Amino acid sequence: MGDSKRHESLLFALIVIGVFLAWAATGYFLYDDQDRGTFGDMFGTVNALFSGLAFAGVIYAILLQRRELRLQREELELTRVELQGQKEQLAAQNSTLRKQNFETTFFQLLGLQNDIVNSIDVPTPQGKVLQGRDCFQLFYDRFKEAWGKNLPHHRSHDELERINKTYLPFFESNQSELGHYFRSLYNIVKLIDQSDVEDKRLYTNLVRAQLSSFELVLLFYNSLSDKGSEKFKPLIEKYSLLKTVPRNHLLNPPDHLPLYAEGAYGA
């Protein structure tokens, strides 16, 4: 910017010098040795000098105006860049804040889910009381027993209907323990799905990592029944929540595994 200003000042000086030289040259060529009395008439060209200087002033004013306009454009560009940077910074801060808020809620719900699991206690026929995740093997044994008893009565049904007719009575008899558990688990996965975090699989993988083998098997059949087929099953398939389900614990693996889309198993 300093170089530009110096160039403009130099140009103005050259214009002024050029006007003076033109004026002097005019006087020189008008000078006549044979009629020196007319030499004084040469100074009538002073008007031309002032006109020339005025013209030079106009040119210099235009140059100054052009420089000011350029400076204004540069300032506007700097302001635009600064505002864009502030906008991007604010967007990054908002994104970080949203992620922090999400993670706070997510880990609170995950902690609540573990509290729900730890609060479950179920008496056994042998007089013992199982607590926490140990209860899910007992739930699995009960469901497997109900499946075996109902099998002769549901031979005319397809596998999905047979699962539904067996699971619903089993769920009702254990609703006080399993109802709260599956509602809480569903809402955690739903929270992840509806969030705007980038790597949702990271969080659903954390959820899946909390589930024991028997929890996964019960989740498998819960979401094939009317209790979860409409809302939970699509999320299971979307986030591969059955990727580590123990297939040897399924009641009829060849017929039951295809009841989920391949995405449920991580394919």
Any idea where the domains of the chain sit in the sequence? Answer: 2-95, 120-265
Q: Which residues have CB under 8 Å from 217's CB, separation 6+?
A: 140, 245, 246, 249, 250
Whether residue 251 contacts residue 224, with contact meaning beta carbons closer than 8 Å, is answered with no
Estimate the crossing angle of helix 232-239 against helix 175-194, to 10 degrees: 60
Question: 176: how many CB neighbours lie within 10 A of its CB?
Answer: 9
What pLDDT is recorded for position 1?
55
Q: Which residues have CB under 8 Å from 76's CB, separation 6+?
A: none
**Greatest Cα pair distance in the chain:** 146
Q: What is the pTM of this model?
A: 0.67
DSSP H/E element including 123 = strand 121-123
25-78 tens-digit pLDDT: 555 555 554 444 454 455 455 555 556 666 667 776 787 788 788 888 888 888
Whether residue 127 contacts residue 140, with contact meaning beta carbons closer than 8 Å, is answered with no
Whether residue 246 contacts residue 216, with contact meaning beta carbons closer than 8 Å, is answered with yes
Rounded CA gap, 38 and 35, in Å? 6
Identify the CA nearest to 225 among candidates 137, 159, 132, 154: 159
Rounded CA gap, 84 and 120, in Å? 54
Residues of the chain with pLDDT under 50: 33-37, 39-40, 43
Whether residue 107 contacts residue 206, with contact meaning beta carbons closer than 8 Å, is answered with no
What pLDDT is recorded for position 169?
95
Whether residue 203 contacts residue 192, with contact meaning beta carbons closer than 8 Å, is answered with yes
Q: Which two tokens stand for residue 180?
A: 């709260």
Q: Which residues have CB under 8 Å from 127's CB, separation 6+?
A: none
What pLDDT is recorded for position 88?
74
Print burial letters for 205-238: b (CB count within 10 Å at least 16), e (below 16). Answer: eebbeebebbbbbbbbbbbbbebbbeebbbbbbb
What pLDDT is recorded for position 226?
95
Rounded CA gap, 99 and 102, in Å? 5
What pLDDT is recorded for position 44?
52
What pLDDT is recorded for position 45?
52
CA 189 to mean position of chain CA atoms: 18
